Amino acid sequence: MDRTQKLSEHFTLGELVRSETSERKGIDNTPPEHMVPKLKRLCEELLEPIRIHFGKPFRPNSGYRSPELNREIGSSSNSQHCKAEAVDIEIAGISNYDLAVWIRDNLDFDQLILECYESGIPNSGWVHVSLKEMQEINRKKVMTYSNRSYTDGLTA
């Protein structure tokens, strides 16, 4: 699989499958070929509009995760990352809360989770955003994850 393959104007396949944990532990994080179009959709419908709006380059923290990688990091066995439906992002110089609010108000998504954000520390945490497959309905579910629990809505 060509990791230099462009999935959109500013994002490559390599960026959506990159994982320091997989590299360190020797875990293959190559997605099945049928999932590449789903990663392309994440780039075109979520990442590109975000990059254009904020006008700043950024690299996703986490996109696709193989089931083995997902287990290794202790994530949920039904994580949308394993289905090539989710991406975690941060943008240097932009509050993760402000990023989540913009996504909530401007993009279609299935889940939007402001994760591990601490009020008063703009760069804390990250934003998880996902899209269901084209034929499925996105739930527009908005949550904040903090102190090992989820609450509805965005909490600053």
Residue 3 lies in a domain: no
- pLDDT recorded at residue 80: 96
Residue 143 lies in a domain: yes
Matching residue, tokens 């959709």? 41
Instruction: Note the pLDDT tens digit of each residue in 46-69.
Output: 999 999 999 999 999 999 999 999
* 125 lies in some domain: yes
Check if the beta carbon of residue 16 is closer than 8 Å to that of residue 35.
Answer: no
The pTM assigned to this predicted structure is: 0.94
Query: Looking at the domain assignment, is residue 4 inside a domain?
Result: no
CATH number (domain holding residue 75) = 3.30.1380.10
Q: How far is it, in rounded angstroms, from Cα 49 to Cα 74?
A: 30
* Residue 57, domain extent: 13-152
Residue 7 located in a structural domain: no
The pLDDT of residue 134 is 78
Buried b (16+ CB within 10 A) or exposed e, 33-43: eebbebbbbbb
The number of domains in the chain is 1
In this predicted structure, the answer to whether residue 5 has a pLDDT above a threshold of 90 is yes
132 found inside a domain: yes
19 inside domain: yes
